[in-house]
Amino acid sequence: MLFEQLGLSAELLKAVSDSGYKQPTLIQSKAIPVILEGKDVMGAAQTGTGKTAGFTLPLLRRLEVYANSSMSPAKHPLRALILVPTRELAMQVHESVKNYSKYMALKSSLVFGGVNMESQTVILRSGVEILVATPGRLLDHIQQKNVMLSSVEIFVLDEADRMLDMGFLPDITKILNLLPTNRQNLMFSATFSDDIKRLAKQFLKSPILIEAAKQNAVSDLITHSVYTVEAAQKTNALIHLIKHQKLDQVLIFTKKKSDSDRLTNQLLKADITASSIHGDKNQQQRCQALSDFKQGTIRALVATDVAARGLDIAELSCVINYELPNNSEDYVHRIGRTGRAGIKGYALSLVSSEEKNRLKDIEKLIQKKIEIKSLLLNDTSLPRVNNPQEKKITTKLDKNDSSQKERKCALIAQPSSAEVIFFNGEYSTRKNTQAIADHDPLFTQPYVSSKTEVRSTLKSRNTSLECKEKKFPFKALPALFFPFVKRSECVNKS
């Protein structure tokens, strides 16, 4: 089938051709005619199948009649609302909308949380026909009367399963209640649980079911491999894989935000350019990390599951699961970042003995036996990385050992080491310093060795750092410094 046979306008066909698409994908050839007829759609779309163009192109075709270049907000009422779960997805979907509508006088915008509302407000008040939004921020704008939903003709709920996982059901229900009854509804979901079916029943009218893939299917273009590695060896194994398999662009998933920061630092230590992306990063940091990764400025992007859905990184060939996700469906979403748009992908997972059951669940879900490979980590040429899990900091200074005492003095005398202790002013008692060390991932790593590094780590966490550069007379350096000296020692030893 050709795009020309789908009933799209010349403007849309030109935009499609500019995007380099030769043929519609399966979901596009199935969904576009149905959406153009004005019917409700329930789309089961495999990640990376071209689903976004599948609903955006017919949506734009239906709104084309309203295209106008008037400056008046009244001439640009909201006609289409696309609800997505994450900011990243909002940005990507909006990019597609802008891209496909570039030859049309239709206005579009996006709103998501975590950033100032003001610039979004100005755009909304100037009038937009198409809005891509995350639920919470949309409700904020509705409450402040920056946007009204009464003129919406097409409502799209994208990544519906993720919406429910993220607890957006109450917000979605509120939004549904504000929409006019006479409208077209399109719902897309990678998986169809009972909850999703219940939600579909709530708002879809006689929907046409469009399946572009089997439920929970993963792309055949992806090769899955598992490396059995104990938890303590995972960082070494990861570095080994990246370096020895010459992986130039790799998306790595961890379960916890703190792990993704720790791992990023360890990759940097091993001369692998890396950045992390997770829910504690502000919008600017997340955009920067993603843009660096897409442009190839960094080799590894370490992400939590917040990034698993929606990210579209052109030609990403490898995803590594540093740990398997608790929820098997998240495996499908994580690895769905590769093997997209006809390009082969590799999904590698580091699996410890505790994770074997999770692996079985995943194999059951994707109906595939994953090949187990072994990794030779005793190669001495391999980079060694201290892993906090692997090596507890047990080094203690022996009061009677003069060589150690000298070392301690030398370390304390280094301003770069000593200054770190004055973190956010928490330097007054040993107890306080230890308290920070106990809960702050930065202080639980044995790698924090220099002021620059601490600053950059804190900068990347958006933490305000006031390194109070108080000069302490050497004789006044008490046991307060002891915890940190121990860490510095580990750095020097490794």
Q: Nearest Cα to 82, choosing from 69, 104, 68, 101?
A: 101
* SS3 of residue 388 by DSSP: coil
Count of alpha carbons within 13 angstroms of residue 175, beta-carbon side: 24
Residue 85 binding ligand AMP, by CB under 6 A: no
State the nearest-atom distance from the C-beta of 312 to ligand AMP, in Å.
Answer: 5
Q: Which of 50, 85, 135, 446 binds ligand AMP (CB under 6 A)?
A: 50
Residue 25 binding ligand AMP, by CB under 6 A: yes
State the nearest-atom distance from the C-beta of 4 to ligand AMP, in Å.
Answer: 13
- Burial label for 476, CB within 10 Å (0-12, 13-18, 19+), is exposed
Residue 482 binding ligand AMP, by CB under 6 A: no
Q: Which two tokens stand for residue 296?
A: 């190839």
Minimum CB distance to ligand AMP smaller for 28 or for 276: 28
Residue 49 binding ligand AMP, by CB under 6 A: yes
Minimum CB distance to ligand AMP smaller for 57 or for 124: 57
State the nearest-atom distance from the C-beta of 80 to ligand AMP, in Å.
Answer: 16
Q: Which of 13, 21, 368, 393 binds ligand AMP (CB under 6 A)?
A: 21
Q: CA separation (Å) from 485 to 64, 409, 444, 479? A: 67, 9, 13, 10
Residue 208 binding ligand AMP, by CB under 6 A: no
* Binding piece for ligand AMP, criterion CB under 6 A, among 45-53, 197-205, 428-436, 469-477: 45-53
**x/- track of binding to ligand AMP for residues 304-323 (CB under 6 A):** --------x-x---------
What are φ and ψ of residue 273, in 5° steps? Answer: -65, 130
What are φ and ψ of residue 419, in 5° steps? Answer: -60, -30
Q: Which of 8, 15, 24, 216 binds ligand AMP (CB under 6 A)?
A: 24
Contact present, 134 and 111 (Cβ < 8 Å): yes
Question: Burial letters for 48-76: b for 16+ Cβ neighbours within 10 Å, e otherwise?
Answer: bbbbbbbbbbbbbbbbbebeeeeeeeeeb
Minimum CB distance to ligand AMP smaller for 88 or for 305: 88
Q: Nearest Cα to 346, choosing from 207, 225, 171, 491?
A: 225
Residue 276 binding ligand AMP, by CB under 6 A: no
State the nearest-atom distance from the C-beta of 248 to ligand AMP, in Å.
Answer: 19
Residue 52 binding ligand AMP, by CB under 6 A: yes
Number of residues interacting with ligand AMP: please give it, by CB under 6 A.
Answer: 15
Residue 358 binding ligand AMP, by CB under 6 A: no
Residue pointed to by tokens 């409450």: 143
Give 167's DSSP letter. T
State the nearest-atom distance from the C-beta of 210 to ligand AMP, in Å.
Answer: 14
CA–CA separation, 488 vs 91, rounded Å? 42
State the nearest-atom distance from the C-beta of 21 to ligand AMP, in Å.
Answer: 4
* Binding piece for ligand AMP, criterion CB under 6 A, among 43-51, 155-163, 186-194, 200-208: 43-51
Q: Nearest Cα to 299, choosing from 249, 366, 241, 359?
A: 249
CA–CA separation, 327 vs 155, rounded Å? 29
Residue 53 binding ligand AMP, by CB under 6 A: yes
State the nearest-atom distance from the C-beta of 419 to ligand AMP, in Å.
Answer: 46
CA–CA separation, 6 vs 4, rounded Å? 6
Q: Please give the distance of CA 344 from its chain centroid, rounded to a whole number.
A: 21
**x/- track of binding to ligand AMP for residues 164-193 (CB under 6 A):** ------------------------------
State the nearest-atom distance from the C-beta of 3 to ligand AMP, in Å.
Answer: 8
State the nearest-atom distance from the C-beta of 431 to ligand AMP, in Å.
Answer: 51
* Binding piece for ligand AMP, criterion CB under 6 A, among 44-52, 157-165, 175-183, 430-438: 44-52
State the nearest-atom distance from the C-beta of 412 to ligand AMP, in Å.
Answer: 54
Residue 340 binding ligand AMP, by CB under 6 A: yes
What are the helix (H) ranges across 367-481? Answer: 402-413, 415-419, 430-439, 451-460
- CA 10, 14, 16, 21 torsion-angle sign: positive
Residue 339 binding ligand AMP, by CB under 6 A: no
Binding site for ligand AMP (CB under 6 A): 21, 23-25, 28, 48-53, 312, 314, 340-341
